[in-house]
Amino acid sequence: MSDWQVKYKSTVKDRGARGILKLREGMLLFVPNDPNSDSKLKVLTPNIKSQKYTKEGSNKPPWLNLTNKQARSHIFEFENYQDMHACRALITKALAKCEEEPNKPAAVLTSAEQLSIADLELRFKVLRENSELQRLHKEFVETKVLTEDEFWATRKKLLGKDSIRKSKQQVGLKSMMVSGIKPSTDGRTNRVTFNLTSEIIFQIFAEKPAVRQAFINYVPSKMTEKDFWTKYFRAEYLYSTKNTAVAAAEAAEDEELAVFLKPDEILAQEARQKIRRVDPTLDMEADQGDDYTHLMDHGIQRDGTMDVVEPQNGQFRRSLLQDLNRHAAVVLEGRNIDVDSEDTRSVAEALARVKQVSKADGETTKDANQERLARMSRVAEMEDLQAPQNFPLAPLSIKDPRDYFESQQGNVVNEPRGAGTLKRNVHEAYGSLKESILEIRTKGLSDPLIKPEVAFEVFRSLTQTISTAKNIIGKNPRESFLDRLPKSTRDEVLHHWTSIQELLKHFWSSYPITTTYLHTKAGKLKDAMSNSYSQLEAMKESVQSELRHQLSLLVRPMQQALDAAFQHYDADLQRRAAKSARGSAGEANGHWNYNKGVIIV
């Protein structure tokens, strides 16, 4: 873009060579005036790490010092400061542009996602742990047969295990009941202090919808939050003192307090609705027991003592059973809102909203009721009162098994023999048999039963048979041939096996070839496979003669698989060549309608 007359020095002390500095797209060129000097320089702009320059005000000549990534510095002495500043500005601009570009080419090259540092680390870790995998990786990825992405594409399971921890664990509710939290009492000043956290507030709102409703109604219109909670805890305290008379008295004077002391109307209503909705023949979602606010209990208070109470104050009494059941129901439901804020009001509103939604879902319309009743009547049918149903029957076909056996006998084909001669032979044979038996009965066992030379011969031949069989098959029937190979050969065979599998996997997955990328990939894989093939041959030659046969048997399936792959590759290549030849010929003849589906061989 611009040229300047400069003097180029490699160090400060250098005298400098005169020449022309050219700034072009992506690089800096310095051409010395003296063609014989060898200080020609070409610096690519991405390589420039930093630039320094001498200030105008100082007595120094205008120098621009460029350091590249290899920490070499180039000093250019300009004719005046203007030139130097212009050059510097241009270099800065070029550098800025350079930084943007690396992102784009990377995105083009890797069609997969950008590798983050974490991913790379994970890959290295997996490779380090599995030496087999490392060997494969070294063999293929580093010789550019496979790319990194292809290598890891089938191994996502190995990588994915540690990295996916996106789902955070959902925290449930505490099993401890809120009412179990005892306040701290100060005997001296007669004050009772309750501690209130947002967790406790959430639980209170979830368990006691009446309190929640009261909060929404009263705060901040009628009283502040602090007052609300003070009143609430006063009610709790009154309960804990088991003094129902006092409770009744206070309830009479303070209507807000009364809300906390009375049984929870909202809960009772919800329970009633749930029971109404239930289909008694089918649905055990809820039953009478869900209405635990009206359960008959034993009058056991929260701390286990029994209580006898006057009937008019009955409504101010709560029992352990009701509290426990309600708490358990809430804990099992879990956290059904996501509001995590400290603001009590928003928590209350969110809970109320959720309850509204579930109530709307649960409300049954008239039609739904009708349908439910109809279904109930259908299900409650009694089978013996039904009319007899005549299902269409399929006839059984049971074959006589004797047919099978007889048919087997009937198809015997043999050379025909003269029946007469056979009978005669048979009779003779039987006759001789009977004679033999008679002979042995009279004479007894032959004596000596067996000659010693014969016995010795038998022993010898048996020993020979067993020892030769041992050589061929191996001492231990469970020992495989692999153990008898020398260790290096064995490792080599096993490694060949895994690498051939890997190559074949990638080879077969790249068919059918639709893009040039797949074409080059197949070509590269084929070269690697021919390499493997020749290595297998070499290995077979190198092994000892007595193991050679077994080794070739072992290696044969690998070679067969490779042969099949080569065959396919060649056939495909031929087909493409023929198709392209035909295609070009077809284009020349205009009337030929070249349709891929109708290829006449």
Partner 1 sequence: MATVASKLYSDDVSLLVLLLDTNPLFWSNTSTTFSQFLSHVLAFLNAVLGLNQLNQVVVIATGYCSCDYIYDSSLTLSGNSESGRTGMPALFASLLEKLEDFIVKDEELIKEQEHDERIASSLLSGSLSMALCYIQRVFRSGHLHPQPRILCLQGSPDGPEQYVAVMNSIFSAQRLMVPIDSCYIGTQNSAFLQQASYITSGVHHAPKQLDGLFQFLTTIFATDLHTRSFVQLPKPVGVDFRASCFCHKKTIDMGYVCSVCLSIFCEHHKKCSTCGSVFGQSKLDGASTVSEKKRKAPDS
Q: Which is nearer to partner 1, 390 or 442 (CB)?
A: 442
Q: Is there a contact between 558 and 497 (Cβ–Cβ < 8 Å)? A: yes
Half-sphere exposure of 29 (CA within 13 A, CB side): 10
Which distant-in-sequence residues (6+ apart) come within 8 Å of 321 by Cβ?
Answer: 292, 295, 297, 298, 300
Q: Which is nearer to partner 1, 422 or 553 (CB)?
A: 422
The CB-of-424 to partner 1 minimum distance in angstroms stands at 12
Comparing C-alpha atoms, which of 50, 44, 11, 8 is closest to residue 27? 44
Q: Which is nearer to partner 1, 220 or 420 (CB)?
A: 420
Query: ∠ CA 234-238-242 to the nearest 5 degrees?
Result: 165
The CB-of-129 to partner 1 minimum distance in angstroms stands at 41
Q: Which is nearer to partner 1, 373 or 440 (CB)?
A: 440
Q: Which is nearer to partner 1, 245 or 455 (CB)?
A: 455
Comparing C-alpha atoms, which of 219, 313, 198, 216 is closest to residue 262? 313
The CB-of-597 to partner 1 minimum distance in angstroms stands at 10
Q: Is there a contact between 525 and 145 (Cβ–Cβ < 8 Å)? A: yes
Structure tokens of 311?
């009937």
The CB-of-162 to partner 1 minimum distance in angstroms stands at 45
d(CA 197, CA 183): 13
Q: Is there a contact between 540 and 521 (Cβ–Cβ < 8 Å)? A: no
d(CA 137, CA 123): 11
Comparing C-alpha atoms, which of 556, 560, 500 is closest to residue 528? 500
The CB-of-590 to partner 1 minimum distance in angstroms stands at 17
Q: Which is nearer to partner 1, 42 or 427 (CB)?
A: 427
To the nearest 10°, the Cα dihedral for 82, 88, 93, 94? Answer: 130
| End-to-end Cα, the chain, rounded Å | 61
Cite the beta strand spans of 69-205 per DSSP E.
Answer: 73-78, 184-186, 191-193
The CB-of-430 to partner 1 minimum distance in angstroms stands at 5
Q: Which is nearer to partner 1, 378 or 417 (CB)?
A: 417
The CB-of-543 to partner 1 minimum distance in angstroms stands at 21
**Which residues of this chain interact with partner 1, rule CB under 8 A?**
399, 404, 407-409, 411-417, 419, 422-423, 425-430, 432-434, 436-446, 449-451, 454-455, 457-459, 461-462, 465-466, 469-470, 472-473, 477, 598, 600
Q: Which is nearer to partner 1, 296 or 412 (CB)?
A: 412
Write the Ramachandran bin of 334: left for phi over 0, alpha for psi from -120 to 50, otherwise beta.
Answer: left
d(CA 507, CA 565): 8
The CB-of-582 to partner 1 minimum distance in angstroms stands at 15
Q: Is there a contact between 21 and 30 (Cβ–Cβ < 8 Å)? A: yes
Q: Which is nearer to partner 1, 220 or 448 (CB)?
A: 448
The CB-of-561 to partner 1 minimum distance in angstroms stands at 23
Q: Which is nearer to partner 1, 171 or 419 (CB)?
A: 419
Which DSSP symbol is given to 306? B
The CB-of-542 to partner 1 minimum distance in angstroms stands at 27
d(CA 4, CA 63): 13
